[in-house]
Amino acid sequence: MSSEPAPAPASASTEELEADLSAATISKKQLKKDARKAEKAGKASQRQQQQQPQAEEADPFAANYGDVPVEEIQSKAISGRSWTDIGDLDEAAAGRSVLIRGSAQTLRPVSKKMAFVVLRQSMSTVQCVLVASADAGVSTQMVRFATSLSKESIVDVEGVVTLPKEPLKATTQQVEIQVRKVYCINRAIPTLPINLEDAARSEAEFEKAEQNGEKLVRVLQDTRLNYRAIDLRTPANQAIFRIQCHVENKFREFLFLENFIGIHSPKLIGGSSEGGASVFKLEYNGQPACLAQSPQLYKQMSICGGFGRVFEVGPVFRAEKSNTHRHLCEFIGLDAEMEIKEHYFEVCDIIDGLFVAIFKHLNENCQKELETINRQYPFEPLKYLEKTLKLTYEEGIKMLKEAGTEIEPMGDLNTEAEKKLGRLVKEKYGTEFFILYRYPLAVRPFYTMPCYDDPAYSNSFDVFIRDTTYEVFSCS
Amino acid sequence: MSSEPAPAPASASTEELEADLSAATISKKQLKKDARKAEKAGKASQRQQQQQPQAEEADPFAANYGDVPVEEIQSKAISGRSWTDIGDLDEAAAGRSVLIRGSAQTLRPVSKKMAFVVLRQSMSTVQCVLVASADAGVSTQMVRFATSLSKESIVDVEGVVTLPKEPLKATTQQVEIQVRKVYCINRAIPTLPINLEDAARSEAEFEKAEQNGEKLVRVLQDTRLNYRAIDLRTPANQAIFRIQCHVENKFREFLFLENFIGIHSPKLIGGSSEGGASVFKLEYNGQPACLAQSPQLYKQMSICGGFGRVFEVGPVFRAEKSNTHRHLCEFIGLDAEMEIKEHYFEVCDIIDGLFVAIFKHLNENCQKELETINRQYPFEPLKYLEKTLKLTYEEGIKMLKEAGTEIEPMGDLNTEAEKKLGRLVKEKYGTEFFILYRYPLAVRPFYTMPCYDDPAYSNSFDVFIRDTTYEVFSCS
């Protein structure tokens, strides 16, 4: 909750309390009395302030709206009322009286007697309609109160669900709420550093506006990061975080069912965790330490320790001064490690099944999230096969060669070649997800096993998803 | 897998390969040929070495045992054989032929013609019996080979499952394997720094031995940590890690079903994340940075960012020089944060339900793990109620006072008082899990809301489990 805790009355500071209470128990009662008296006085003056505008015009429906005083949200009582999630409001709810809580996204006065308020909760928005009417208990003062709220204020609305005559374009939910009561839990400051509408626009909307000679406000990355709590409220960000959580859930579930155990390896370590990458160094009680740049060795220790199969989801720290779309100083790694019984394809099969399970899970459980992201950042659905395509490295460079890109047969693929291979595979096999295996040993690090039939190649594979490669090393 | 990758033949170092290949394609073929030739020569000499002892005595069953050469575990082929988990071997498997892979825990020669080998996989052990017999294809050389293995070597056994005449005390599985084939995948060094039997003993076993005048080896903490990959193999450690994973799984599942979203907040941050605790400082590209000592502010930003309810499982770093059982420099925090609609008991109820769900899950799904831990570290099952007991702080100090412990009414409970209260509650209510709420405001930090009816108290609660308190602050 964004409301500030009410300060304790000055006459009952906690230090004084302790002093008094240690003297005698009778003073405790007196103190409580005093405290209550002070509190009541405070509440009364608060109420007076809030009701002043209404008092002027003697509104018989004054109880149906207003700012909720702090003590009312101070865990005073459990009312037993239940709130409906805005995302759950659909045609089936028509005619029902509901109570919702959301952020005031838009406030649109139509006349003295009518106004629209769009409330948002996570990715969902609903239109609330205020029409002054004695039957409904809605006064013109109440309409004015509602439109006087600042954007992004937290608002409770009680009302009846109705179906609109025409489809609503501005909200996700295709119902309206005929408002009976409206209370503001917490007012936002009148001018916010980010306007949510600006932060939620797609490139297409910017282009369209430009073509019409309009100039729309762009919220740049710095502003977004400086006011992250506001930027997070855009529907796309709400959806992205939910999808991240779903990916992690499915990753854990799939591997757990395949007898993997989730571990958490140390992040504060005494040495550097993998050769090559540079590390963040720090002081640990007078001794040099660094942040783990990979759980690799700990995963291997777990396997050596008898766990058979382990996974880890946790932060990875990289101090490299690299600046590619595949480098971040801190990211969340989804890592897995397993014993191989006789062939590294066992790992291949797990990774393959894992990715396909995640793709399916997202398609089946996150349609709303995918559509929400698609509105701001359009994308095509990922193409993948039920049985994942596996190509040898040799086949891959052959495809590239036939398409005019000559690759050093024992060299590595650069990012450009990887992307081109991705396009070629998509054209030929209709998939954006595939596995390339049997890399030249020369381009794999020290812990990769050479192929039994040709030590120039290695028991290794990488996973390709659209334009991105995920490196998976393998040894047996 | 713990086997070392085979080094590439000296005549085909990767640098030479690249140089040759860039010169002409024909050299590639030649090189491959050379490499294969070199490899074959290597294999032949390896085989000769392994077969030398058998060659002396011309064993007709030589193919049924031996060390597996590296190329055989180099992903040469997929045999299609399937391994049975040792933990799955039960009476229902009697008469079946199985293939298992495990670590050689004990090797006990009985005579030239008979030996026992106990194989271990995670928390499970099974007795393998070798009896020399032409019908079974088992020679005396094979018996000798099996007992010549070093402890903790990785071994494949093929054999027939039989039921023992008497219950087996030394193994978890109540079946035996009549060995037909035995192959060593990887030999452990002959003398290990830790003997697993020593590392797995309970205090009771040490005491009993002492009473009998025996002196058993104790593996101390330093040794355990220096050889963690071996220490992890003890059954109790195997079980503890599995239970940790189950706790995290249930934590995530319960909260996700309650509409919480899992997040990962930054661990590398620009300031200190919470007042009070000291932090690990480091340099981030020339700027001062520190490690997050709590996800608190990020969780609150997420709530403010419209997520409603979030949880996080991730590392927490504390640089305090404290030395209690409740302080660690790095630990995995299971954190949750939620919007309150009207009363902080909403949080209380979630936390209550969460803990009870975890207790139940462990009792229902981890009996084997709990029993395994109990053998080395005996404990009583946790007593908890279906409906968790909630006591006010005032009730708590009243109980302590009646039992002779005077607590400053507006002061905090020290560890000793908390433990005593835990014992009193267990006696009176029959539970070791309860919630103490309405703490004095004076002992809660700045962001706790005072009670609406008495600002000397706060909207807060702590969770007590047996001897441990988990602090949960709450404001609304």
* Residue B355, amino acid: F
Interchain contact A88–B (C-beta under 8 A): no
- Give me the total of CB pairs closer than 8 Å, taking one residue from chain A and one from chain B: 293
Interface contact flag, A75 B459, Cβ < 8 Å: yes
> Which residue is it, tokens 């965790």?
A273
pLDDT tens-digit series, residues B61-84: 999 999 999 888 889 999 999 999
Note whether A302 contacts B14, CB cutoff 8 Å: no
- Rounded to the nearest angstrom, the minimum Cα separation between A9 and chain B is 8
ipTM of the shown complex: 0.86
Beta strand A433-437 with A287-291 is: unpaired
Q: Is pLDDT above 60 for A44?
A: no
Contact in structure between A305 and B38 (CB atoms under 8 Å): no
Amino acid at residue number B318: R
Mean pLDDT, contiguous 10-residue spans, chain B (476 residues): 36 32 39 53 49 64 95 89 96 97 96 97 97 96 97 98 95 97 96 94 96 95 96 97 98 98 95 66 87 92 96 94 78 95 94 97 97 96 95 96 91 89 96 96 84 93 83 51
Predicted confidence band of residue A273 (pLDDT cuts 50, 70, 90)? low
Closest-CA residue of chain A to B19 = A410
User: Is A31's pLDDT higher than 50?
Assistant: no
Residue A323 forms contact with B (CB below 8 Å): no
Nearest alpha carbon to residue A284 among A269, A273, A265, A267: A269
pLDDT at position A20 over 80:
no
pLDDT given at position A50: 52
pLDDT tens sequence across A100-138: 999 999 999 999 999 999 999 999 999 999 999 999 999
When scoring B74, B226, B250 by the number of chain A Cβ atoms within 10 A, the one with the most, hence best to mutate, is: B74
- Cβ contact, residue pair A341, B454, below 8 Å: no
How far, CA to CA in Å, does A123 sit from each of A289, B306, B315?
43, 9, 29
Residue A249 is predicted with a pLDDT of: 98
Task: Label residue A278 by pLDDT band (50, 70, 90).
Answer: confident
Q: Does residue A298 register a pLDDT over 90? A: yes
Question: Facing residues of B469 across strands?
Answer: B464
Residue type, A77: A
DSSP letter, residue B59: -
Residue A415 pLDDT exceeds 70: yes
Higher pLDDT, A71 or A139: A139
**AA letter at B46:** Q
Q: Is the pLDDT reported for residue A19 higher than 70?
A: no
Residues of B in contact with A229 (CB under 8 A): 301-302, 304-305
**What would the two tokens of residue A107 be?**
């406030």
Taking the C-alpha atoms of residue A40 and residue A56, their distance in angstroms, rounded to an integer, is 24
Distance CA A168, CA A473 (A): 51
Extract long-range pairs of A415-420: CB within 8 Å, 24+ residues apart.
Answer: A415/A324, A418/A464, A418/A467, A418/A469, A419/A467
Predicted pLDDT of residue B45: 46
Instruction: Look up residue A267 and give its two tokens.
Output: 């992040």
Q: Which pLDDT value is given to residue B135?
A: 95
Q: Look up the pTM and report it.
A: 0.86
Quick: pLDDT tens for A349-358: 999 999 999 9
Instruction: Provide the pLDDT for residue A32.
Output: 53
